[in-house]
Amino acid sequence: MTTDAATANAVLDLALRAADIAGRQLLARFDRPAEGLTEKSTATDLVSDADREADETILGMIRAERPDDAILSEESGEAEEGTTGLRWLVDPLDGTTNYLWSYPQWAVSIGCYDDEGGVMGVVHDPIRGETFSAVRGGPALLNGQPLVLEPRDDLGKALIGSGFGYDAVRRRRQALRLSGVIPHVRDMRRGGSAALDMAWVAAGRLDGYYEFGVNAWDVAAGAVIVIAAGGEVQQLPTGPEGAPGTLAARPGLAAQLRAVVDAAADGIN
């Protein structure tokens, strides 16, 4: 089912409002002692009451205004399937470790998809007061101003983002792949928030980004924004890291970056 423009704009409006409220809640707790701190996948993968409060706020607003939509949230798991053909993908706090260490690189990420792909995406950075957004077929925006990516074809001059998982074995393999990518690019950055990495590709602050082991809620909103800005997003098959990945780049660089990322897997064991 194709989502019409009116519905796309309605879910975008809801996402913008929910991200703003959740962002203000997160800011109120930021740089304070964490409460309700527990572990998730590993001892270094953490979640706190800040994540949970933001999650409850966003999901509560979606359920109140669009009770028949499906929802997949990092903190709450998958809600019962909806009947509208729309599915929300929510990361209430992408970059939890950064947040807990008072490192100002984290965001609220809210995407909505149908059978044809991304309908809209919102990545909200409360620290900088920046909101990246887009609907399918419309422009990508940063605080209401259009984002349009210019093509580039020299990977050697490109600034590339990436990231690492919490599992020690996967992190080692990701580092090995990174060592194979670095010689082919200008430099690498590791921000710690996949949602912001994707949004920054759309804004031209990064020329490209790749990471293995990210979840759907990490990159769903950012993918919509990158594509709307004129960039390209590719899904990477499962590699030696043991998980599939995502690659995003400005026009002219995706194929080159993909070739280097693929080739770098040869050095992983």
For 240-262, the pLDDT digits (tens) are 999 999 999 999 999 999 999 99
Residue 42 — very low, low, confident or very high, per pLDDT cuts 50/70/90? low
Whether the pLDDT of residue 44 is over 60: the answer is no
Mean pLDDT along residues 160-167: 92
Cα separation, 35 vs 38, whole angstroms: 9
Looking at 1.20.1050.10, 3.40.50.2300, 3.40.190.80, 3.40.640.10, the CATH number of the domain 155-263 comes to 3.40.190.80
Mean pLDDT along residues 114-118: 96
Question: Do 259 and 249 form a contact (C-beta atoms < 8 A)?
Answer: no
Whether the pLDDT of residue 125 is over 80: the answer is yes
Q: Express each pLDDT in 4-21 by its tens digit.
A: 999 999 999 999 999 999
Domain 5-147 annotated CATH 3.40.640.10:
no
* Long-range pairs for 128-133: beta carbons < 8 A, 24 or more residues apart: 128/104, 131/16, 131/19, 131/20, 132/199, 132/202, 132/203, 132/222, 132/225, 133/12, 133/15, 133/16, 133/225
- Buried b / exposed e over 206-245, threshold 16 CB at 10 Å, is bbbbbbbbbeebbbbbbbbbbbbbbbbbbebeebbbebeb
pLDDT of residue 165: 86
pTM of the model: 0.94
Q: Express each pLDDT in 60-81 by its tens digit.
A: 999 999 999 999 998 776 566 7
Which residues, including other chains, have CB under 8 Å from residue 163's CB and lie 6 or more apart? 174, 190, 191, 192, 194, 197, 211, 214
Task: Kindly list the domain boundaries of the chain, sorted by start residue.
Answer: 5-147, 155-263
Average pLDDT in the chain: 92
Residue 159 — very low, low, confident or very high, per pLDDT cuts 50/70/90? very high
pLDDT of residue 78: 57
**Comparing 75 with 37, which gets the higher pLDDT?**
75
Q: Express each pLDDT in 177-213 by its tens digit.
A: 999 999 999 999 999 999 999 999 999 999 999 999 9
pLDDT of residue 167: 86
pLDDT of residue 32: 74
What is the C-alpha radius of gyration for the chain, rounded to an integer number of angstroms? 18
pLDDT of residue 166: 84
Cα separation, 160 vs 186, whole angstroms: 8
Whether the pLDDT of residue 27 is over 90: the answer is yes
Mean pLDDT along residues 105-111: 98
For the residues of the chain, what is the DSSP string, one character each? -PPPHHHHHHHHHHHHHHHHHHHHHHHHHTTS--SS-EESSSTT-EE-HHHHHHHHHHHHHHHHH-TTSEEEETTTEEPPP-SSS-EEEEEEEE-HHHHHTT-S--EEEEEEEETTEEEEEEEEETTTTEEEEEETTS-EEETTEEE-PPP---GGG-EEE----SSHHHHHHHHHHHHHHGGGSSEEE--S-HHHHHHHHHTTSSSEEEEES--HHHHHHHHHHHHHTT-EEEEEPP-TTSS-EEEEE-TTTHHHHHHHHHHHGGG--
**Comparing 163 with 44, which gets the higher pLDDT?**
163
pLDDT of residue 267: 75
Mean pLDDT along residues 152-177: 94
pLDDT of residue 40: 59
Segment among 29-38, 173-182, 212-221 with least mean pLDDT: 29-38
Tell me which amino acid residue 105 is: Q
Question: Do 131 and 13 form a contact (C-beta atoms < 8 A)?
Answer: no
